[in-house]
Amino acid sequence: MVAVIHASGTLRSALNYNERKVSQAVASFLDAGFYLENKQDLNYHSKLSRLVKRNALNPNVKVNTLHISLNFSPDEKLSDERLKEIARSYLAKIGFEKQPYLLYQHHDSGHPHVHLITTTIRADGRAIRLHNIGRNQSEKARKELETEFGLIRAEDQNKQNYELKAPALQLAQYRKTETKKAISSVLHGVLKQYKYASAAELNAVLALYGVLADRGSENSRIYKNQGLVYRLLDQNGTKIGVPIKASDFHFKPTLKYLNARFEINQTERVQYRARIKNAVDLTLLSQSHSVESLSLALKKQGILLVSRRSDQGQIYGLTYIDQVTKCVFNGSALGKTYSAKAIVERCKLKEEPRYLVSQMPIKSPPQQPSQLVSKTVGKQHILPGTGKTASVTDPLLTDLFAPETSSEQILWQLKKSRKKRRRKMQ
């Protein structure tokens, strides 16, 4: 289980957010704790009124509202009653026992989760302290609840590869659903889950779900004003429908927000570069490949290879999307040998016909390393355990197959030089 706490002074915004989800049929109202009326008798006004009156007991407190989301593993199957029990117990453990609250279950994500709205003002007007509540009380409560209710631990969830499940990231389709709603669903599933460091990398992921983050042309008004819109794409990647301003979404996925994410992700994704690079290198070493077959091989390892092509069909860009680590890299961000041009060249080398290297007679004198490399370049070696060939023209193999100078070889060279000296002396 993962708990996320937002403390603010905007009670109406928190309530409106959840009620709007209910009206859109992507959330349901589960419970109202410590309300005078029954849940089924509550309307919007009565839900709001109870919390507003409680907050009015201490008007000096500006941060008087807590909006909490409790998130569970996609593998959890939790009934409504179970969710109510977990929510009540969580509030009690963080010091909000007997505080009035509203509980909503959301269905617009790839994992089960609920939202809680409550007040920080007690019945006697005193405010509940929130200092380090997330790090201290909430973290302790989370671990206790995982044990008490047999929930999948947050630490274990992080180790698993959870694919984004429907309806979190369904392909956004024009006229199949409201444009803004469709785009919003995709953005919720992508923006915070993936680690991208540029607009191109972000759009590589968004395009998988029929969405584009668009700044317009450099001469456009939106570009000059640092604006951003989101659009739907058809199956051919063509823009369709009405663009939606980033500022029109309640979570504000603006250019300013994205630039901040770029900076954070740039640092956080560094440790995951090696996985993609190793996957590409080993795949190309062990098999003959076109870019298309390389893409299929990487997909089996959880890495999507997205190519950008010209009208003539030539590949001019590659983006690697790792669905395991949720990291996105343009080819050039991994290094020159992983750019579109380099990958195409490395695949071409695999396709050129070459001859196998014949074994060297055992009694033949050892050759100099430089001589051996020069004779094997342009030929192939059998890779152990694969029965397949790998070209030594690949720069990664040149060093691999260059023999070390053994002590036996050095002795042979010394004997040869001594013989030459003796002849000269005679």
Q: Which two tokens stand for residue 60?
A: 């000096």
70 neighbors 1 (Cβ within 8 angstroms): yes
Question: How far apart are the C-alpha atoms of 282 and 301, rounded to whole Å?
Answer: 12
What confidence score (pLDDT) does residue 285 get?
79
The alpha helices in 101-166, defined as continuous H runs, are: 139-148, 154-159
The boundaries of every CATH 3.30.930.30 domain in the chain are 2-159
Nearest CA-CA partner of 112 in 138, 93, 134, 86? 86
Angle of CA points 14, 17, 22, to nearest 5°:
130
The phi, psi pair for 287, rounded to 5°, reads -140, 160
**Residue 394 backbone class (left: φ over 0; alpha: ψ -120 to 50; beta: rest):** beta
Where does 2-159 sit in CATH, by number? 3.30.930.30
Phi, psi of 66 (to 5 degrees): -115, 125
**Separation between Cα atoms, residue 275 and residue 397, nearest integer Å:** 19
At CA 335, angle to CA 333 and CA 338, rounded to 5?
95
Strands, DSSP E only, in 139-281?
211-214, 229-233, 239-245
Global confidence as pTM: 0.47
Q: How many CB atoms sit inside 10 A of residue 83's CB?
A: 20
Query: CA 14 to CA 115: how far, in whole Å?
Result: 10
pLDDT along the chain (426 residues), means of 10: 89 92 90 95 96 97 94 89 97 97 87 94 96 92 95 69 40 62 88 94 94 92 93 88 90 93 93 92 78 91 91 91 94 94 84 41 46 42 46 46 46 54 56
Query: Are the CB atoms for 382 and 356 separated by under 8 Å?
Result: yes
CA 2 to chain centre: 17
* Measured distance CA(296)–CA(65) in Å, rounded: 50
pLDDT given at position 171: 56
Distance CA 275, CA 103 (A): 41
**DSSP at 130:** -
Burial of 28 (0-12, 13-18, 19+ CB in 10 A): middle
3-state secondary structure of 374: helix
How many CA within 13 A on the CB side of residue 366?
18
pLDDT at 265: 94
95 φ/ψ sector (left φ>0, alpha ψ -120 to 50, else beta) = left
What gap in Å lies between CA 114 and CA 84, rounded to an integer? 9
Structure tokens that stand for 380 in this block = 């192939």
Rg (C-alpha) for the chain, rounded Å, is 31
For residue 254, what are the CA distances in angstroms to 115, 158, 200? 24, 28, 15
CA distance 26 to 184: 12
- Distance, in Å, from the CA atom of 308 to the CA atom of 316, rounded to the nearest integer, reads 6
Q: Other CB atoms closer than 10 Å to residue 336's CB: what's the count?
A: 9
